[in-house]
Amino acid sequence: MPWQADLHRPPLSDANGSALWELLFCTADFKFSYSAQTPQAQVHQGWIREHLQRASDHAGALPDRLQVFRPQALPLLRTSAQALGIEVEARRHTPTLHRWLQNRARWYPSLANATGVAYDPLQLEPPPPLPLPDHLWGQQWGFTSLPAALLEQTFPYQPMPLGCLPLERLPRAMGLADTTAIAGVVIDAGPQALALGRWLEGVAPAWLRYQAGDPDGLILEAGLHDRWIITTFRDTTVGAGGQLFEQRKLNSRGLHFLLVRPDASGLTYTGLWLLQQA
């Protein structure tokens, strides 16, 4: 079973005034949780491995992998866990851990060793978005939507070499009505379709976002905190489609999709990614 994991610096200090760091583990159902704190000077691989072992004693077994959303925590958690044969997965969606961190952030100010510093445990500093490599861009693209029932009954059964369709993100698994419009972006990439699909596999898409501006843009959030500019445009009609895209995402609890295909014939598809904005 995977554990969601974090290593962060809460607004707490020890008796000497040194900043404390906190290690957290929990399961997705929160039937198991574990926390440990230590001064910054003691944060190292040996300390993390020690508490992984202690946590596993409480849980009854080591996890098969750790899911980590914080980029700064990833290198140390990865090297520490690998020594115990535990895989570490970079993952934006760790909702149980996020809720636990938010609850703890409300609890910290009541502690005697609280520093009083404002703290948002989920705040990350994303880098500026990078342009999509020119050689990958397709022939045309557009905003679209499909009723939830049609999406679930068609695309998952189409032969596609690439993509990601987690079962928990299928509309019915999310409790969405069959008639809910699921927003999407379709890219007809022509000869570049397979190369674009493989590039998407590599960057691990998280969600798409329409961004109004001068020009407007379509932004791909990927990996832990990477951002890519898929395309920019000044067409007001396309901009209206982007606004509708965002509204439909709100109506579907963030669920949307990205479809890459060679052309608009509907005969072949390269990849489908079912995404959800956090």
Q: Residue 253 region, left (φ>0) first, then alpha (ψ -120 to 50), else beta?
A: left
Domain assignment of residue 27, yes or no? yes
State mean pLDDT over 146-170. 91
DSSP strand E in 125-236: where? Answer: 130-131, 140-147, 162-164, 181-188, 205-211, 216-222, 226-233
Phi, psi of 185 (to 5 degrees): -125, 130
Domain assignment of residue 120, yes or no? no
Domain assignment of residue 159, yes or no? yes
Domain assignment of residue 250, yes or no? yes
- CATH number of the domain within which 33 lies: 3.30.420.10
CA dihedral for 75, 77, 81, 87, sign (positive or negative):
negative
What CA–CA distance (Å, rounded) separates 110 from 14? 15
Same-domain check for residues 20 and 65: yes
Domain assignment of residue 223, yes or no? yes
Same-domain check for residues 157 and 225: yes
**What pLDDT sits at residue 210?**
97
State mean pLDDT over 227-252. 95
Compute the mean pLDDT over every residue in the chain, rounded to the nearest whole number: 93
Same-domain check for residues 92 and 164: no
Tell me: the pLDDT tens digits for 23-41?
999 999 999 999 999 999 9
Helices and strands: H and E segment counts in the chain: 6, 14
**What pLDDT sits at residue 96?**
96
Single-letter code of the amino acid located at 193: A
Provide, rounded to the nearest whole percent, the portion of the chain with pLDDT above 70.
100
Same-domain check for residues 20 and 155: no
* Residue-range definition of the domain harbouring residue 146: 130-276
Tell me: the pLDDT tens digits for 82-127?
999 999 998 888 999 999 999 999 999 999 999 999 999 998 877 7
DSSP letter at 252 equals T
Same-domain check for residues 106 and 134: no
Same-domain check for residues 15 and 69: yes
State mean pLDDT over 117-140. 86
pTM: 0.76
**What pLDDT sits at residue 127?**
79
Structural domains in the chain (count): 2
